[in-house]
Structure 1
Amino acid sequence: MPTARLSCQALVIGSGIAGLTCALELADAGFDVVVLTAGEEPDDGNTAYAQGGIVYTSPNDSPSLLEKDIRKAGWDHNYIKAVRFLARQGPAAVKDILIDRVGIPFARKTGGPELQDGEAEFDLTREGGHSVFRVLHCADYTGRAIMDGLIKTVQASTSIRLLCGRTAVDLITSHHHTCALQFRYQRVNECLGAYVYNNATGVVETILADFTVLATGGIGRIFQHTTNADCCVGSAITMASRAGASLMNVEYMQFHPTALYHRSKRRFLITEAMRGEGAILVNSAGERFMTRYDKRLELAPRDIVSRAIVEELHRSDEECVFLDCRTVPHDLPTRFPTIYKQCLEHGISIMKEPIPVVPAAHYHCGGVLVDLAGRTSLERLYAVGECSCTGVHGANRLASTSLLEGLLWGHTAGEHIAQQLHRRKHAEKLLLASIRDWQHPGGRHDEDPALIAQDWATIRNTMWNYAGLMRTEMRLKRAADDLNSLVLHLVEFYKRTPLSKPLIDLWHGSCAASIVAMSALRNKESKGCHYVEASA
């Protein structure tokens, strides 16, 4: 298979809020950055789907109050230093980057007093687990607005090369891919870039970099029902694990309580902000059932609301519950235009009838272990956004903290890498020159779309039924055994078959699913998103 080589000072794999923020920080510092995205457009990830908003602050808020809310939602399984860092530095990052630099048009109050800058106050909303109204939003398309602004800013930079239609295959490391023996004897293993599949040409490109940043998003696509984009198959945890980087909390998968119940490849999200504005959950009998489960009712943390819905479905033998937003004191088409339009397309008028909803796999609280600068345990490798584990979310994510985490750690990682490059901490030229281009022994063109589809069905059904919202030790053992067998089978298939994007995605997804199932099986403590039912 033909190859191509290129080099840069920083390689960012992923183009969501975390990856693009990191790239902008590096470009502003004067460095050459390559950003990869697997889709044909840079906005194909989860950020563009984010509806509710991003955590900011309000006059009656404080870092200590936000920290308290995050830790309570996360079952106090959080890394306190990371939570404190987010609570203290996050709002300033929102103002400096999104408001002042990128100019995101967050909603403002109408008819109220103007601030010193002549602008009206922000129209803050509230979501589950929050003590106060502190969430900035752009109606119900906040992620879309943020991505539009970031992409425009990135495309205006002459220091950033944005390469679409590129699927990362594997990370390049000094211990695994050099042809010079002396570098394998070095104690420290270093990440030196990635092998990348060009979706259009079928060429595996060797991209060498002084520093590499994983920003590939989550793992929702390994579950049968998910709100996630197609690209979210767990590629970062698969590649990082193979390269030798540490993972953390990968068993903690958050399910969103309210995804639109309909037949679709991707479940459409009904934002939690709708419940924050007054919408209530009812069962098929029209009964408000959250009164039986938590005193915070619909604004309890997501893991609690999701399990309550599942319990109601078990009680009633129904396929969905309903979100009644007729109690929301707003003009619904104006406040929630995206949801209003999407529901109408499915024959649901949200001003006249409740919305059928079910839980769906939504956000991965674990991932590649990083510190406050986004550094992984592998030298020269960073991870930001949903694919990383900063420790902020603990056992369950507080709503609207994910965009803030991606923004802050993207900024911090870019800043930290820039400091290293300013100190001339470049990868050794002889080492980079010793890296082999991609070598693949396979020549049998026996890739079968039907077999790939069946393997994906096995992964997704196994994860949904055995390692999903409600887990038991027996189910997890079955999941781990079945997925390990599939991975062993795919190893042999992977070796003899030329690469393609469907095959790369399947490989990453199967490995990620196996890693999650094994981690869940090892963790005997039921907490938050990792809810294990006691044995009878």
Structure 2
Amino acid sequence: MSWEAAADLVVVGTGVAGLTAALRARELGLRVLVITKDAAPAGNTGWAQGGIAVVRPDEHDEGDSVHRHVRDTLDAGAGLCSREAVREILTDGAAAVGRLRSAGARFDGGCDGALARTREGGHSAFRVLHAGGDATGAEVQRTLVTAATDGDVPILERHCVVELLHGDSGALAGALVLDAEGRSGVVRAPAVLLATGGLGQLYGATTNPDVATADGIALALRAGASVADLEFVQFHPTVLYTPGGERGRRPLITEAIRGEGAVLVDADGRRVMAGQHPLGDLAPRDVVSAAINRRIADTGSDCVHLDATGLGAGFAERFPTVYAACRDAGVDPVREPIPVTSAAHYSCGGVVSGVDGRTSVAGLYAAGEVACTGLHGANRLASNSLLEGLVVGARAAEAAARDLRCGAVTRSPVGSDARAVPAAAVVDRDLLQRVMSRYAGIGRTAEGMATASAELDRAGVVRPLATRRAVEDSALTLTAQALLAAASDRTESRGCHRRPDFPEPDDARWQRSIVLRLDVSGWLIRTGAEEWGRAA
């Protein structure tokens, strides 16, 4: 038996961007329905340790400014940020944080009564707000879930979006969804916001939870939208290393620990970042990750170490989440260095959209990690992601409301075959993760990526997307193919895209984004280069 529902705006995802959008849409009088394939608190937001990078007008370091925050973001983005997007999003940051605090978010305070601030890699000032020491994401998620519950925002938990639907006229008309029992249903809506998070499950080791399976990338591509910058996958420099080579989500060791004085050392106690970058251990993440990988290769070790023993007994109170993870692994960070390595962390690219969430498909919006607004460029600046979700989530809801009011987006009848479950190529997830980790991690070569593409092509089996697992694995398969296509095209090293066979950046050819979409036959094609308005 099938089922039906209807809304003005469907929000797919319950992270910071999705719930911020849902709450703002409800304020604007829209009928909103939130869909998540897990429980509402699940997703990447709750795992974010670092914080929210923002320059507040009444509380900031002497000499700090939004302009400096913009400059730091552009520097980290290695020439691929949109200056306009960076300025708009960061300028809106203080107001977005104010709205979050009004909703009940509790940030850590300093001894002077102001909000406490820390510094992370790539930042030139102490401007990162945090909550619960290293549990900022958990506090943001708690606040938004509570606000949604108190505001009677309807959330369909354990429902999986299979594909976006178009009406007979071609307009977006809603979504085909599987419920918790695997029954298909249709949600009719003229507007859909993708806020599905990232693609960390492409790799065997990641900081992302199990739900980060690139669903939004695949949904957008199959709906006719474009994606960009998929080759720029940020690997977090420091996740907890434990022997045994386990797969899946690994505990994050927040960058804020280095912001407060911890240093990276190798097995012989030598500083890893000495002479690598003017900011040393607080260099941008791509620089630190690459340096760690080089040192591991040079020494033949499995990891390096983060020496935070100089922080003293206050470590456990300042970083309770990290402390608990270390103790669970048999490491006492107060008395001994923490073994760390890098792991897939954040996708800088995604569905091409503006700072208002609009995509090239009328009625389709994107916000958060699934989107590519031009904020992150080739390498995200630490703690800009929660801020982006807050700002763009709200702006996307406002854009959808405007588009519905003025008739730019209209309700369209769902096509007659809307309930038919589609089929798509699926690669076994274990194989896909092994292939991507080996050939499309931090160091990529033309030969390796060609091997990866061939292995995935051979392993793909067309299957009906009748289960959540099949939907997820098909999304990972399509996204892996798109990432490999873009990474193979980009014959240079830039940001978090590193190619030993092309070790230098090539501004003349590649200071632009690679944009991909699906053609009418379902093949990935390159549509051109996006300049992002860098001359602004």
Q: Normalising by structure 2, what TM-score?
A: 0.89
- String of CA shifts for 1:250-304, please: whole Å, max 9, x gaps: 1110000000012353111000011111110010111112103222111000000
Aligned counterpart, 2:75: 72
Match of 2:198 among 218, 222, 226: 218
Contact 2:165 2:418 in 1 (8 A): no
Matched, 1:137 2:110: no
Aligned counterpart, 1:4: 3
Deviation of the 1:527 alpha carbon: 0.6
Deviation of the 1:437 alpha carbon: 3.3
Alpha-carbon distance in structure 1 between the residues aligned to 2:304 and 2:48:
22
Contact 2:54 2:90 in 1 (8 A): no
Aligned counterpart, 2:107: 106
Match of 2:373 among 368, 385, 390: 390
**Which structure's residues are more often helix, by fraction?**
1
Aligned counterpart, 2:337: 354
Contact 1:23 1:33 in 2 (8 A): yes
Aligned counterpart, 1:475: 448
Deviation of the 1:328 alpha carbon: 2.6
Amino acid across the alignment from 1:195:
L
Aligned counterpart, 2:33: 34
Aligned counterpart, 2:532: none
Aligned counterpart, 2:509: none
Amino acid across the alignment from 1:208:
R
Match of 1:128 among 121, 128, 139: 121
Contact 1:490 1:507 in 2 (8 A): no
Alpha-carbon distance in structure 2 between the residues aligned to 1:320 and 1:460:
20
Q: Secondary structure at 2:239's aligned position in 1?
A: strand
Aligned counterpart, 1:466: 439
Unaligned runs of 5+ in 2: 504-536
Deviation of the 1:410 alpha carbon: 0.1
Aligned counterpart, 1:152: 146
Alpha-carbon distance in structure 1 between the residues aligned to 2:96 and 2:147:
16
Deviation of the 1:440 alpha carbon: 3.8
Alpha-carbon distance in structure 2 between the residues aligned to 1:505 and 1:240:
14
Aligned counterpart, 1:24: 23
Alpha-carbon distance in structure 1 between the residues aligned to 2:387 and 2:438:
31
Deviation of the 1:229 alpha carbon: 1.0
Once the two structures are superposed, the pairs formed by residues 251-330 of structure 1 within 5 Å of their partners are: 251-262=231-242, 263=246, 265-328=248-311
Aligned counterpart, 1:445: none
Alpha-carbon distance in structure 2 between the residues aligned to 1:191 and 1:368:
16
Matched, 1:455 2:428: yes
Alpha-carbon distance in structure 2 between the residues aligned to 1:434 and 1:529:
42
- String of CA shifts for 1:315-335, please: whole Å, max 9, x gaps: 110101101111236711110
Mark the CA change 1:421 to 1:358 in structure 2 (over 3 Å): closer, same or farther: same
Once the two structures are superposed, the pairs formed by residues 376-455 of structure 1 within 5 Å of their partners are: 376-423=359-406, 427-428=410-411, 431-440=412-421, 455=428
Aligned counterpart, 1:532: 499
Contact 2:363 2:409 in 1 (8 A): no
Q: Secondary structure at 1:291's aligned position in 2?
A: coil
Amino acid across the alignment from 1:276:
G
Match of 1:204 among 175, 184, 203: 184
Q: Secondary structure at 1:331's aligned position in 2?
A: helix
Contact 1:278 1:329 in 2 (8 A): no
Matched, 1:168 2:161: yes
Q: Secondary structure at 1:292's aligned position in 2?
A: coil
Alpha-carbon distance in structure 1 between the residues aligned to 2:479 and 2:439:
15
Q: Secondary structure at 1:362's aligned position in 2?
A: strand
Amino acid across the alignment from 1:29:
L
- String of CA shifts for 1:402-433, please: whole Å, max 9, x gaps: 000111000100111122233465624xx325
Alpha-carbon distance in structure 2 between the residues aligned to 1:208 and 1:485:
37
Aligned counterpart, 1:195: 176
Once the two structures are superposed, the pairs formed by residues 76-91 of structure 1 within 5 Å of their partners are: 76-91=79-94
Mark the CA change 1:49 to 1:433 in structure 2 (over 3 Å): closer, same or farther: closer
Alpha-carbon distance in structure 2 between the residues aligned to 1:337 and 1:373:
36
- What is the number of residues matched between the two proteins? 493
Contact 1:326 1:351 in 2 (8 A): yes
Deviation of the 1:434 alpha carbon: 4.0
Alpha-carbon distance in structure 1 between the residues aligned to 2:315 and 2:421:
55
Mark the CA change 1:400 to 1:202 in structure 2 (over 3 Å): closer, same or farther: same
Alpha-carbon distance in structure 1 between the residues aligned to 2:310 and 2:283:
18
Match of 2:47 among 46, 49, 53: 49
Match of 1:367 among 350, 359, 366: 350
- TM-align CA RMSD: 1.8
Alpha-carbon distance in structure 2 between the residues aligned to 1:461 and 1:27:
43
Amino acid across the alignment from 1:505:
E
Aligned counterpart, 2:322: 339
Alpha-carbon distance in structure 2 between the residues aligned to 1:131 and 1:365:
21
Aligned counterpart, 2:228: 248
Amino acid across the alignment from 2:125:
V
Contact 2:173 2:414 in 1 (8 A): no
Contact 2:304 2:339 in 1 (8 A): yes
Contact 2:118 2:126 in 1 (8 A): yes
Which deviates more, 288-297 or 312-321? 288-297
Deviation of the 1:479 alpha carbon: 1.6
Contact 1:253 1:364 in 2 (8 A): yes
Alpha-carbon distance in structure 1 between the residues aligned to 2:18 and 2:327:
34
Q: Normalising by structure 1, what TM-score?
A: 0.89
Alpha-carbon distance in structure 1 between the residues aligned to 2:100 and 2:334:
33
Deviation of the 1:520 alpha carbon: 0.8
Alpha-carbon distance in structure 2 between the residues aligned to 1:426 and 1:467:
39
Alpha-carbon distance in structure 2 between the residues aligned to 1:18 and 1:105:
18
- String of CA shifts for 1:469-528, please: whole Å, max 9, x gaps: 011111112222222333xx322xx14xx7111111111111111111111111223211
Contact 1:55 1:91 in 2 (8 A): no
Alpha-carbon distance in structure 1 between the residues aligned to 2:76 and 2:171:
36
Alpha-carbon distance in structure 1 between the residues aligned to 2:5 and 2:422:
23
Alpha-carbon distance in structure 2 between the residues aligned to 1:481 and 1:284:
38
Mark the CA change 1:264 to 1:513 in structure 2 (over 3 Å): closer, same or farther: closer
Q: Secondary structure at 2:310's aligned position in 1?
A: coil
Which deviates more, 58-67 or 401-410? 58-67
Deviation of the 1:102 alpha carbon: 1.3
Aligned counterpart, 2:97: 94
